Amino acid sequence: MKTVCLFSDGSCLNNPGAGGWAYILEYGKHTKEASGAEAMTTNNQMELRAVIEGLKALKEPCEVELYTDSSYVANAINEWLDGWVKKAFKNVKNVPLWQEFLDVSSAHKIRATWVKAHNGHPQNERCDTLAREAATKIRDESDR
């Protein structure tokens, strides 16, 4: 099974508001990055969207080393998700996104690491920049 690094970030201008997400995938000497945006969303939704979109980009089962600046996403993936599923997501926010995560993550072995925001790590900083740019663009488009 191939090992990949997935760096992710989500950003929201106001909460809820215009939000952006971004990911960087690194495997071997290859790098892929992508970003996108949504209106009327939250930071947590954008953080999770970034992870989901990164996983969708994988074409085969992989061991995924995920680096996110969201303790919510990292803790959910590593600790809480099994309990949530057993309780049919009772009292959990963002259920459709977590269900989508389950669908796209099932083929992979994922270990999530929480890194403090703006820690100077180049990939995390790049994701932050891409997510903010996407959020600003969608906000500006909706103001027209």
Handedness of CA 104, 60, 72, 85 (dihedral sign): positive
Catalytic residue among 10, 19, 36, 54: 10
- Position 23, amino acid: Y
Q: Which of 9, 19, 36, 53 is an active site residue?
A: 9
Q: What is the pLDDT of residues 23-53, one digit of tens each?
A: 999 998 999 999 999 999 999 999 999 999 9
Residue 93 confidence (pLDDT): 87
Q: Reply yes or no on whether 47 is catalytic.
A: yes
Q: Per the structure, how many domains does the chain have?
A: 1
Annotated catalytic residue 10: yes
pLDDT band at 118 (very low <50, low <70, confident <90, very high): low
CATH of the domain at 18: 3.30.420.10
Whole-angstrom distance, CA of residue 60 vs CA of residue 135: 30
pLDDT at 144: 66
Tell which wins on pLDDT, 116 or 119. Answer: 116
Range of the structural domain that residue 58 is part of: 2-142
pTM value?
0.93
9 flagged as catalytic: yes
Q: Is 105 a residue whose pLDDT tops 90?
A: yes
The string of pLDDT tens digits covering residues 45-100 is 999 999 999 999 999 999 999 999 899 999 999 999 888 888 888 888 899 999 99
Query: Where is pLDDT greater, at 144 or 101?
Result: 101
Query: Is 26 designated active site?
Result: no
Residues 6+ apart with CB under 8 A from 40: 16, 17, 18
- How far apart CA 85 and CA 30 sit, in angstroms, is 34
**DSSP line for 47-95:** HHHHHHHHHHT--S-EEEEEEES-HHHHHIIIIIHHHHHHTTTTT-S-H
State whether residue 111 is helix, strand or coil. Answer: strand
